[in-house]
Amino acid sequence: RWAHNRPQERPFIHVVDACATNPRVTRSFQLRIPPDVRQLVVDTPAAMSAQRLSQFTRGAHAILVPVLPSDMDIHAVSQLVADLLLVAKVSRRMGRLGVVANRVRENTLAYRRLMRFLESLNIPVVGQLRDSQNYVHAAEQGLGIHELPPSHTAKDIEGWAPLIDWVGQRM
């Protein structure tokens, strides 16, 4: 939906909807990546079997795990991290696994609980994204938050800086 709403005058982003099926083309043709693509982002569903997780993480330069400050998300992420480490064999030492605290409000109990949990994982927290309507507005327009007016998004962009640096070091 985001890509469908993206204005034509903005830089093109090739999107592959891996969940969609088209009986008129082969699966490999549907999932093909154009040869000029330099960076590939794979956004997987939250509930994925450990075996399928291995398929998506093999060869990845960086694996980002977003987590919300909620008990349900913390529980789900603890299982996901266990699957990444034990089944997908993602090594903490390789430094390609990072966590992003998503939709956080600093100075709340939920935020402090989330940060305590993330520290216990011994995996770097590479970014903190504020709970901001700017993400909603950007998504509705098919834009990235960095494409909105800087006067509206300066605080949000601050949380992205460490994340962008972390990912950039792995490319």
Each residue of 110-159: pLDDT tens digit? 999 999 999 998 889 999 999 999 999 999 999 999 999 999 999 888 88
In this predicted structure, the answer to whether residue 165 has a pLDDT above a threshold of 90 is no
In this predicted structure, the answer to whether residue 108 has a pLDDT above a threshold of 80 is yes
Q: Give pLDDT, residue 57.
A: 85
pTM confidence score? 0.81
Joined tokens for residue 33: 């990546």
Q: Give pLDDT, residue 148.
A: 94
Output the CA torsion sign for 133, 117, 168, 162: positive
Q: Residue 41: pLDDT band by 50, 70, 90 thresholds? A: confident
Question: Which of 128, 135, 126, 166 is closest to 153 using CA atoms?
Answer: 135
Q: Are 101 and 67 in contact (CB under 8 A)?
A: yes
Joined tokens for residue 56: 């998506």
Mean pLDDT for the stretch of residues 54-65: 86
Q: Are 64 and 95 in contact (CB under 8 A)?
A: no
Mean pLDDT for the stretch of residues 4-16: 91
For residue 4, CA distances in Å to 9, 23, 73, 115, 140 come to 13, 22, 28, 35, 10
How many Å apart are CA 73 and CA 109, to the nearest integer? 15
Q: Are 110 and 101 in contact (CB under 8 A)?
A: no
Q: Give pLDDT, residue 72.
A: 92
| pLDDT tens sequence across 20-40 | 788 888 888 888 888 988 888
Q: Give pLDDT, residue 163.
A: 85
| C-alpha Rg value of the chain to the nearest Å | 17
Q: Give pLDDT, residue 150.
A: 92
- For the chain, give the mean pLDDT: 88
